[in-house]
Amino acid sequence: MKENDIIELLKSQDEFLKTTSKTSVENRISILKKLKASIKAHEQGIVDAIYKDFQKPEFEVLTTELFVVYKELNLFIKNLKKWSKPKSVSSAWLNFPSSDKIHYVPWGKVLVIAPWNYPFQLAITPAIGAIATGNTVVLKPSEHASYTAGVLVKIFNEVFEDQQAKIITGAVETAKILLEQKWDYVFFTGSVPVGRIVSEQIAKHMTPHTLELGGKNPCIVDSTAKIDVTAKRICWGKFLNAGQTCIAPDYLIIDSKIKDEFQKKLISSLKEFYSETSYKDYTRLIHDSHFEKLTGFLKDQNIIYGGESDAETNFLAPTLVDSPDLSSPLMNEEIFGPILPLYSYSTFDELEEMITSFEKPLSLYVFSERKDFVKQVNEKFDFGGGVINDTIVHFVNDKLPFGGVGASGVGNYHGRASFNTFTRQKPIVNRKTWLDIPIKYPPYNRVNSFKSFLNLFR
Protein backbone atom coordinates (compact mmCIF):
# COMPACT_ATOMS: atom_id res chain seq x y z
CA MET A 1 0.00 0.00 0.00
CA LYS A 2 1.36 3.41 -1.02
CA GLU A 3 1.75 6.31 1.38
CA ASN A 4 -1.12 8.26 -0.21
CA ASP A 5 -3.39 5.23 0.14
CA ILE A 6 -2.49 4.95 3.84
CA ILE A 7 -3.22 8.65 4.38
CA GLU A 8 -6.62 8.23 2.68
CA LEU A 9 -7.36 5.19 4.84
CA LEU A 10 -6.63 7.18 8.00
CA LYS A 11 -8.92 9.97 6.82
CA SER A 12 -11.69 7.43 6.25
CA GLN A 13 -11.04 6.06 9.74
CA ASP A 14 -11.46 9.58 11.14
CA GLU A 15 -14.88 9.80 9.46
CA PHE A 16 -15.76 6.32 10.66
CA LEU A 17 -14.91 7.29 14.24
CA LYS A 18 -17.05 10.41 14.03
CA THR A 19 -20.10 8.43 13.02
CA THR A 20 -19.53 5.29 15.08
CA SER A 21 -17.85 6.56 18.24
CA LYS A 22 -21.06 5.87 20.11
CA THR A 23 -21.43 2.33 18.81
CA SER A 24 -23.00 0.18 21.44
CA VAL A 25 -21.11 -2.37 23.46
CA GLU A 26 -23.58 -4.94 22.13
CA ASN A 27 -22.52 -4.15 18.57
CA ARG A 28 -18.86 -4.57 19.44
CA ILE A 29 -19.57 -7.87 21.19
CA SER A 30 -21.34 -9.08 18.05
CA ILE A 31 -18.24 -8.15 16.01
CA LEU A 32 -16.04 -10.13 18.42
CA LYS A 33 -18.35 -13.14 18.01
CA LYS A 34 -18.08 -12.79 14.24
CA LEU A 35 -14.29 -12.66 14.53
CA LYS A 36 -14.30 -15.78 16.69
CA ALA A 37 -16.45 -17.65 14.16
CA SER A 38 -14.13 -16.63 11.32
CA ILE A 39 -11.03 -17.79 13.21
CA LYS A 40 -12.74 -21.10 13.94
CA ALA A 41 -13.58 -21.52 10.25
CA HIS A 42 -9.94 -20.86 9.31
CA GLU A 43 -8.34 -22.99 12.04
CA GLN A 44 -6.74 -25.52 9.71
CA GLY A 45 -5.60 -22.75 7.41
CA ILE A 46 -3.89 -21.04 10.35
CA VAL A 47 -2.16 -24.27 11.37
CA ASP A 48 -1.00 -24.90 7.79
CA ALA A 49 0.17 -21.31 7.26
CA ILE A 50 2.31 -21.20 10.39
CA TYR A 51 3.82 -24.56 9.48
CA LYS A 52 4.71 -23.19 6.04
CA ASP A 53 6.26 -20.12 7.61
CA PHE A 54 8.64 -21.99 9.94
CA GLN A 55 7.46 -25.54 10.54
CA LYS A 56 5.83 -24.92 13.88
CA PRO A 57 4.21 -28.19 15.06
CA GLU A 58 0.41 -28.28 15.09
CA PHE A 59 0.31 -28.82 18.86
CA GLU A 60 2.30 -25.63 19.47
CA VAL A 61 0.01 -23.68 17.11
CA LEU A 62 -3.08 -24.94 18.93
CA THR A 63 -1.70 -24.19 22.40
CA THR A 64 0.38 -21.04 21.95
CA GLU A 65 -1.55 -19.34 19.16
CA LEU A 66 -5.23 -20.38 18.93
CA PHE A 67 -5.85 -21.21 22.60
CA VAL A 68 -4.56 -17.81 23.74
CA VAL A 69 -6.65 -15.97 21.13
CA TYR A 70 -9.86 -17.83 21.97
CA LYS A 71 -9.33 -17.12 25.67
CA GLU A 72 -8.94 -13.41 24.99
CA LEU A 73 -12.01 -13.30 22.76
CA ASN A 74 -14.16 -15.18 25.28
CA LEU A 75 -13.02 -12.90 28.09
CA PHE A 76 -13.96 -9.73 26.20
CA ILE A 77 -17.28 -11.17 24.99
CA LYS A 78 -18.18 -12.06 28.57
CA ASN A 79 -16.94 -8.92 30.36
CA LEU A 80 -16.96 -6.01 27.91
CA LYS A 81 -20.36 -4.73 28.99
CA LYS A 82 -19.34 -4.72 32.66
CA TRP A 83 -15.91 -3.20 32.04
CA SER A 84 -17.32 -0.43 29.82
CA LYS A 85 -19.73 0.98 32.40
CA PRO A 86 -18.71 4.38 33.79
CA LYS A 87 -17.26 4.04 37.27
CA SER A 88 -18.71 6.25 40.00
CA VAL A 89 -16.25 7.75 42.47
CA SER A 90 -16.79 9.85 45.56
CA SER A 91 -16.89 13.56 44.85
CA ALA A 92 -14.61 16.20 46.32
CA TRP A 93 -16.03 18.15 49.27
CA LEU A 94 -15.44 21.44 47.44
CA ASN A 95 -17.64 20.22 44.56
CA PHE A 96 -20.64 19.42 46.74
CA PRO A 97 -23.21 18.69 45.45
CA SER A 98 -21.97 16.66 42.47
CA SER A 99 -21.73 13.17 41.01
CA ASP A 100 -18.33 12.15 39.65
CA LYS A 101 -17.65 9.38 37.14
CA ILE A 102 -14.78 7.91 35.16
CA HIS A 103 -15.75 7.10 31.58
CA TYR A 104 -13.71 4.66 29.49
CA VAL A 105 -13.32 5.98 25.96
CA PRO A 106 -11.32 4.69 22.98
CA TRP A 107 -8.15 6.44 21.91
CA GLY A 108 -9.19 6.55 18.24
CA LYS A 109 -6.92 5.27 15.45
CA VAL A 110 -4.64 2.47 16.66
CA LEU A 111 -1.62 1.02 14.87
CA VAL A 112 -0.60 -2.53 15.83
CA ILE A 113 2.78 -3.78 14.56
CA ALA A 114 3.14 -7.52 15.12
CA PRO A 115 6.22 -9.79 15.15
CA TRP A 116 6.91 -13.06 13.36
CA ASN A 117 7.59 -15.44 16.25
CA TYR A 118 3.94 -16.00 17.18
CA PRO A 119 2.57 -14.50 13.97
CA PHE A 120 -1.12 -15.11 14.58
CA GLN A 121 -1.52 -14.73 18.33
CA LEU A 122 0.68 -11.66 18.77
CA ALA A 123 -1.15 -9.93 15.91
CA ILE A 124 -4.74 -10.77 16.85
CA THR A 125 -4.58 -10.51 20.65
CA PRO A 126 -3.83 -6.77 20.88
CA ALA A 127 -6.20 -6.11 17.96
CA ILE A 128 -9.01 -7.74 19.95
CA GLY A 129 -8.55 -5.30 22.83
CA ALA A 130 -8.33 -2.30 20.51
CA ILE A 131 -11.41 -3.21 18.46
CA ALA A 132 -13.49 -4.25 21.47
CA THR A 133 -12.99 -0.86 23.11
CA GLY A 134 -14.18 1.07 20.05
CA ASN A 135 -10.95 1.99 18.30
CA THR A 136 -10.18 1.56 14.62
CA VAL A 137 -7.16 -0.63 13.91
CA VAL A 138 -4.49 -0.88 11.28
CA LEU A 139 -2.55 -4.12 11.76
CA LYS A 140 0.88 -4.57 10.20
CA PRO A 141 1.86 -8.28 10.41
CA SER A 142 5.43 -9.43 9.94
CA GLU A 143 6.66 -9.87 6.38
CA HIS A 144 8.70 -12.85 7.61
CA ALA A 145 5.51 -14.87 8.25
CA SER A 146 3.85 -14.21 4.91
CA TYR A 147 1.60 -17.29 4.87
CA THR A 148 0.12 -16.37 8.24
CA ALA A 149 -0.31 -12.77 7.08
CA GLY A 150 -2.33 -14.11 4.14
CA VAL A 151 -4.76 -15.89 6.48
CA LEU A 152 -5.05 -12.77 8.64
CA VAL A 153 -6.03 -10.76 5.56
CA LYS A 154 -8.78 -13.29 4.72
CA ILE A 155 -10.17 -13.14 8.27
CA PHE A 156 -10.14 -9.34 8.44
CA ASN A 157 -11.80 -9.05 5.04
CA GLU A 158 -14.58 -11.36 6.22
CA VAL A 159 -15.19 -9.64 9.55
CA PHE A 160 -14.45 -5.91 9.28
CA GLU A 161 -15.05 -2.88 7.15
CA ASP A 162 -11.79 -1.35 5.92
CA GLN A 163 -12.45 1.80 7.97
CA GLN A 164 -12.84 -0.26 11.13
CA ALA A 165 -9.94 -2.70 10.92
CA LYS A 166 -7.47 -3.16 8.10
CA ILE A 167 -4.35 -5.23 7.53
CA ILE A 168 -1.49 -3.62 5.65
CA THR A 169 1.26 -6.00 4.58
CA GLY A 170 4.78 -5.07 3.62
CA ALA A 171 8.35 -4.91 4.86
CA VAL A 172 10.46 -2.28 6.61
CA GLU A 173 9.55 0.55 4.23
CA THR A 174 5.84 -0.03 4.87
CA ALA A 175 6.39 0.05 8.63
CA LYS A 176 8.37 3.26 8.24
CA ILE A 177 5.55 4.94 6.28
CA LEU A 178 3.01 3.81 8.88
CA LEU A 179 5.06 5.19 11.76
CA GLU A 180 5.38 8.55 10.03
CA GLN A 181 1.61 9.02 10.23
CA LYS A 182 -0.21 10.50 13.21
CA TRP A 183 -1.88 7.82 15.34
CA ASP A 184 -3.86 8.06 18.55
CA TYR A 185 -2.15 4.94 19.95
CA VAL A 186 0.63 2.60 18.82
CA PHE A 187 1.11 -0.97 20.00
CA PHE A 188 4.41 -2.58 19.00
CA THR A 189 5.76 -6.06 19.70
CA GLY A 190 9.33 -6.82 18.68
CA SER A 191 13.00 -6.48 19.53
CA VAL A 192 14.53 -3.89 21.83
CA PRO A 193 16.55 -2.15 19.05
CA VAL A 194 13.50 -1.78 16.80
CA GLY A 195 11.41 -0.74 19.82
CA ARG A 196 13.78 2.19 20.37
CA ILE A 197 13.31 3.26 16.74
CA VAL A 198 9.52 3.03 17.07
CA SER A 199 9.60 5.07 20.28
CA GLU A 200 11.71 7.81 18.68
CA GLN A 201 9.47 7.96 15.62
CA ILE A 202 6.14 8.25 17.42
CA ALA A 203 7.55 10.74 19.94
CA LYS A 204 7.26 13.37 17.21
CA HIS A 205 3.48 13.24 17.66
CA MET A 206 3.55 12.59 21.43
CA THR A 207 1.70 9.34 20.73
CA PRO A 208 0.80 7.14 23.71
CA HIS A 209 2.06 3.62 23.18
CA THR A 210 2.76 0.12 24.41
CA LEU A 211 6.09 -1.54 23.59
CA GLU A 212 6.32 -5.29 24.16
CA LEU A 213 10.03 -6.03 23.80
CA GLY A 214 12.39 -8.56 25.40
CA GLY A 215 15.79 -8.94 27.00
CA LYS A 216 18.19 -11.31 28.72
CA ASN A 217 15.79 -13.31 30.88
CA PRO A 218 17.67 -15.03 33.72
CA CYS A 219 16.71 -18.44 35.07
CA ILE A 220 18.09 -19.28 38.51
CA VAL A 221 18.41 -22.86 39.74
CA ASP A 222 18.96 -23.08 43.50
CA SER A 223 20.59 -26.11 45.12
CA THR A 224 17.23 -27.10 46.65
CA ALA A 225 15.40 -27.24 43.29
CA LYS A 226 13.79 -30.54 42.36
CA ILE A 227 16.18 -31.42 39.58
CA ASP A 228 14.08 -33.72 37.39
CA VAL A 229 11.03 -31.49 37.04
CA THR A 230 13.17 -28.34 36.91
CA ALA A 231 15.16 -29.63 33.93
CA LYS A 232 11.99 -30.56 32.04
CA ARG A 233 10.27 -27.25 32.69
CA ILE A 234 13.31 -25.24 31.65
CA CYS A 235 13.84 -27.25 28.46
CA TRP A 236 10.16 -26.89 27.57
CA GLY A 237 10.06 -23.13 28.14
CA LYS A 238 13.39 -22.49 26.41
CA PHE A 239 13.03 -24.68 23.33
CA LEU A 240 9.32 -24.18 22.66
CA ASN A 241 9.13 -22.45 19.26
CA ALA A 242 12.88 -23.16 18.93
CA GLY A 243 13.59 -20.54 21.57
CA GLN A 244 12.00 -17.78 19.48
CA THR A 245 9.98 -16.50 22.43
CA CYS A 246 10.49 -13.14 24.11
CA ILE A 247 9.93 -14.62 27.57
CA ALA A 248 12.08 -17.73 27.09
CA PRO A 249 14.93 -18.19 29.58
CA ASP A 250 17.96 -16.55 27.98
CA TYR A 251 20.59 -18.03 30.27
CA LEU A 252 20.80 -20.33 33.31
CA ILE A 253 22.59 -19.57 36.57
CA ILE A 254 22.93 -22.81 38.51
CA ASP A 255 24.14 -23.29 42.06
CA SER A 256 27.68 -24.66 41.70
CA LYS A 257 26.89 -27.54 44.07
CA ILE A 258 24.48 -29.10 41.57
CA LYS A 259 25.66 -27.78 38.19
CA ASP A 260 27.24 -30.99 36.87
CA GLU A 261 24.28 -33.13 37.91
CA PHE A 262 21.78 -30.63 36.57
CA GLN A 263 23.58 -30.35 33.25
CA LYS A 264 23.16 -34.11 32.77
CA LYS A 265 19.42 -33.80 33.54
CA LEU A 266 19.04 -31.07 30.94
CA ILE A 267 20.63 -33.30 28.31
CA SER A 268 18.48 -36.29 29.22
CA SER A 269 15.35 -34.11 29.05
CA LEU A 270 16.28 -32.86 25.59
CA LYS A 271 16.86 -36.41 24.38
CA GLU A 272 13.47 -37.36 25.76
CA PHE A 273 11.70 -34.41 24.11
CA TYR A 274 13.19 -34.45 20.62
CA SER A 275 14.20 -37.28 18.32
CA GLU A 276 17.75 -36.57 17.17
CA THR A 277 16.94 -38.04 13.77
CA SER A 278 13.77 -36.16 12.81
CA TYR A 279 13.01 -33.36 15.30
CA LYS A 280 9.39 -33.72 14.19
CA ASP A 281 8.01 -31.71 17.14
CA TYR A 282 10.50 -28.90 16.82
CA THR A 283 10.15 -25.52 15.10
CA ARG A 284 12.69 -24.19 12.58
CA LEU A 285 14.24 -20.72 12.60
CA ILE A 286 12.21 -18.10 10.78
CA HIS A 287 14.62 -17.08 8.00
CA ASP A 288 18.16 -17.32 6.66
CA SER A 289 19.57 -14.23 8.36
CA HIS A 290 18.34 -15.35 11.78
CA PHE A 291 19.88 -18.78 11.15
CA GLU A 292 23.20 -17.20 10.17
CA LYS A 293 23.17 -14.93 13.20
CA LEU A 294 22.53 -17.75 15.70
CA THR A 295 24.98 -20.19 14.19
CA GLY A 296 27.52 -17.35 14.21
CA PHE A 297 26.94 -17.02 17.96
CA LEU A 298 28.23 -20.58 18.40
CA LYS A 299 31.67 -19.99 16.91
CA ASP A 300 34.44 -20.62 19.44
CA GLN A 301 31.94 -21.61 22.15
CA ASN A 302 32.18 -24.62 24.46
CA ILE A 303 29.14 -26.59 23.20
CA ILE A 304 28.24 -29.33 25.65
CA TYR A 305 25.17 -30.56 23.77
CA GLY A 306 23.60 -29.98 20.35
CA GLY A 307 24.95 -27.47 17.87
CA GLU A 308 23.90 -29.40 14.76
CA SER A 309 22.44 -27.25 12.01
CA ASP A 310 21.08 -27.34 8.46
CA ALA A 311 21.09 -24.12 6.45
CA GLU A 312 18.71 -25.52 3.84
CA THR A 313 15.85 -25.82 6.36
CA ASN A 314 17.06 -23.21 8.90
CA PHE A 315 17.34 -25.97 11.49
CA LEU A 316 19.40 -25.43 14.63
CA ALA A 317 19.28 -28.19 17.24
CA PRO A 318 18.68 -27.41 20.93
CA THR A 319 22.10 -26.36 22.11
CA LEU A 320 23.71 -26.01 25.54
CA VAL A 321 26.80 -23.82 25.90
CA ASP A 322 29.01 -23.76 28.97
CA SER A 323 29.97 -20.40 30.48
CA PRO A 324 30.35 -18.20 27.38
CA ASP A 325 32.30 -14.98 27.88
CA LEU A 326 29.91 -12.20 28.90
CA SER A 327 31.46 -9.96 26.26
CA SER A 328 30.79 -12.47 23.46
CA PRO A 329 28.11 -11.74 20.80
CA LEU A 330 26.05 -14.55 22.34
CA MET A 331 25.66 -12.58 25.55
CA ASN A 332 25.57 -9.06 24.12
CA GLU A 333 21.92 -9.27 23.12
CA GLU A 334 18.80 -11.39 23.52
CA ILE A 335 19.52 -14.78 21.95
CA PHE A 336 15.98 -15.46 20.68
CA GLY A 337 16.81 -18.97 19.57
CA PRO A 338 17.56 -22.52 20.75
CA ILE A 339 20.87 -21.75 22.48
CA LEU A 340 21.03 -21.93 26.27
CA PRO A 341 24.17 -20.71 28.09
CA LEU A 342 24.89 -22.33 31.47
CA TYR A 343 26.67 -20.50 34.31
CA SER A 344 27.26 -21.32 37.96
CA TYR A 345 27.21 -19.25 41.12
CA SER A 346 28.32 -19.84 44.69
CA THR A 347 27.00 -16.77 46.52
CA PHE A 348 24.05 -14.43 46.15
CA ASP A 349 26.49 -11.60 45.46
CA GLU A 350 27.75 -13.46 42.37
CA LEU A 351 24.16 -13.97 41.27
CA GLU A 352 23.39 -10.31 41.71
CA GLU A 353 26.51 -9.16 39.89
CA MET A 354 25.61 -11.19 36.82
CA ILE A 355 21.91 -10.37 36.61
CA THR A 356 22.41 -6.65 37.17
CA SER A 357 25.09 -6.53 34.46
CA PHE A 358 22.21 -6.65 31.95
CA GLU A 359 19.20 -4.37 31.45
CA LYS A 360 16.01 -5.15 33.39
CA PRO A 361 14.57 -8.30 31.78
CA LEU A 362 11.08 -9.01 30.54
CA SER A 363 10.94 -12.16 32.70
CA LEU A 364 12.81 -13.86 35.51
CA TYR A 365 12.54 -17.48 36.66
CA VAL A 366 13.70 -19.02 39.90
CA PHE A 367 13.62 -22.70 40.87
CA SER A 368 13.94 -23.31 44.58
CA GLU A 369 12.23 -24.96 47.53
CA ARG A 370 13.47 -22.23 49.87
CA LYS A 371 10.87 -19.52 50.41
CA ASP A 372 13.41 -17.08 51.83
CA PHE A 373 15.62 -17.46 48.77
CA VAL A 374 12.70 -16.93 46.39
CA LYS A 375 11.63 -13.88 48.35
CA GLN A 376 15.16 -12.46 48.24
CA VAL A 377 15.33 -12.93 44.44
CA ASN A 378 11.93 -11.35 43.79
CA GLU A 379 12.65 -8.37 46.03
CA LYS A 380 16.20 -7.78 44.78
CA PHE A 381 15.67 -7.83 41.01
CA ASP A 382 13.39 -5.76 38.82
CA PHE A 383 11.70 -7.52 35.89
CA GLY A 384 8.46 -7.45 33.93
CA GLY A 385 6.95 -10.69 35.23
CA GLY A 386 8.16 -13.97 36.64
CA VAL A 387 7.46 -17.53 37.65
CA ILE A 388 8.60 -19.61 40.60
CA ASN A 389 9.43 -23.22 39.72
CA ASP A 390 8.38 -23.01 36.07
CA THR A 391 8.96 -20.90 32.96
CA ILE A 392 6.81 -18.73 30.64
CA VAL A 393 3.45 -19.89 32.10
CA HIS A 394 2.57 -16.42 33.45
CA PHE A 395 1.74 -15.45 29.86
CA VAL A 396 -1.39 -17.64 29.74
CA ASN A 397 -3.13 -16.14 32.80
CA ASP A 398 -5.33 -13.37 31.39
CA LYS A 399 -5.86 -12.07 34.93
CA LEU A 400 -2.20 -11.03 35.04
CA PRO A 401 -1.01 -7.95 33.12
CA PHE A 402 1.77 -8.83 30.71
CA GLY A 403 4.55 -6.37 29.95
CA GLY A 404 8.12 -5.32 30.55
CA VAL A 405 10.02 -2.70 32.51
CA GLY A 406 12.75 -0.34 31.39
CA ALA A 407 14.41 -1.59 28.20
CA SER A 408 12.21 -4.70 28.13
CA GLY A 409 9.00 -2.79 27.49
CA VAL A 410 6.50 -0.04 28.21
CA GLY A 411 2.92 -0.76 29.28
CA ASN A 412 1.07 -4.06 29.46
CA TYR A 413 -1.92 -5.97 28.11
CA HIS A 414 -3.98 -9.21 28.30
CA GLY A 415 -7.56 -9.39 29.55
CA ARG A 416 -8.66 -6.43 31.66
CA ALA A 417 -5.19 -4.92 31.21
CA SER A 418 -5.87 -4.80 27.44
CA PHE A 419 -9.14 -2.98 28.10
CA ASN A 420 -7.25 -0.44 30.22
CA THR A 421 -4.51 -0.08 27.60
CA PHE A 422 -6.82 0.66 24.68
CA THR A 423 -9.08 3.08 26.55
CA ARG A 424 -8.34 6.29 28.31
CA GLN A 425 -10.04 7.39 31.51
CA LYS A 426 -12.20 10.44 30.93
CA PRO A 427 -13.27 12.02 34.25
CA ILE A 428 -16.54 13.96 34.33
CA VAL A 429 -17.94 15.94 37.28
CA ASN A 430 -21.67 16.65 37.17
CA ARG A 431 -22.32 19.67 39.44
CA LYS A 432 -25.85 20.09 40.76
CA THR A 433 -27.53 23.49 40.74
CA TRP A 434 -29.87 23.18 43.69
CA LEU A 435 -27.11 24.45 46.02
CA ASP A 436 -24.20 26.79 45.34
CA ILE A 437 -21.64 27.24 48.12
CA PRO A 438 -20.23 30.78 47.82
CA ILE A 439 -16.82 30.19 49.43
CA LYS A 440 -14.95 29.96 46.10
CA TYR A 441 -16.21 33.27 44.70
CA PRO A 442 -14.60 36.73 45.09
CA PRO A 443 -14.39 38.84 47.09
CA TYR A 444 -12.15 36.58 49.11
CA ASN A 445 -13.20 37.67 52.58
CA ARG A 446 -13.11 34.19 54.09
CA VAL A 447 -9.33 33.68 54.03
CA ASN A 448 -8.96 33.09 57.78
CA SER A 449 -11.85 30.63 57.83
CA PHE A 450 -10.30 28.68 54.97
CA LYS A 451 -6.88 28.70 56.67
CA SER A 452 -8.48 27.01 59.65
CA PHE A 453 -10.08 24.47 57.32
CA LEU A 454 -6.74 23.93 55.53
CA ASN A 455 -5.13 22.92 58.84
CA LEU A 456 -7.07 19.67 58.58
CA PHE A 457 -4.91 18.74 55.58
CA ARG A 458 -1.55 20.08 56.73
Q: Which residues are catalytic?
A: 212
Alpha-carbon span 414 to 420, nearest angstrom: 10
Alpha-carbon span 274 to 51, nearest angstrom: 18
Alpha-carbon span 275 to 386, nearest angstrom: 30
Measured between alpha carbons, how far apart are the two ends of the chain, in Å? 60
For every residue of 79-146, DSSP letters joined together read HHHHHHSPEEEPPPGGG-SEEEEEEEEE-SEEEEE--SSSTTHHHHHHHHHHHHTT-EEEEE--TTSH
Helix intervals (H) in 146-187 = 146-159, 172-180
> Cβ neighbours of residue 190 under 8 Å, at least 6 residues apart?
113, 115, 198, 212, 213
Alpha-carbon span 240 to 60, nearest angstrom: 8
Alpha-carbon span 287 to 313, nearest angstrom: 9
Helix intervals (H) in 160-214 = 172-180, 192-202
Half-sphere exposure of 226 (CA within 13 A, CB side): 8
Nearest to 425 by CA among 78, 81, 87, 17: 87
> Cβ neighbours of residue 8 under 8 Å, at least 6 residues apart?
none
Q: Are 167 and 156 in contact (CB under 8 A)?
A: yes
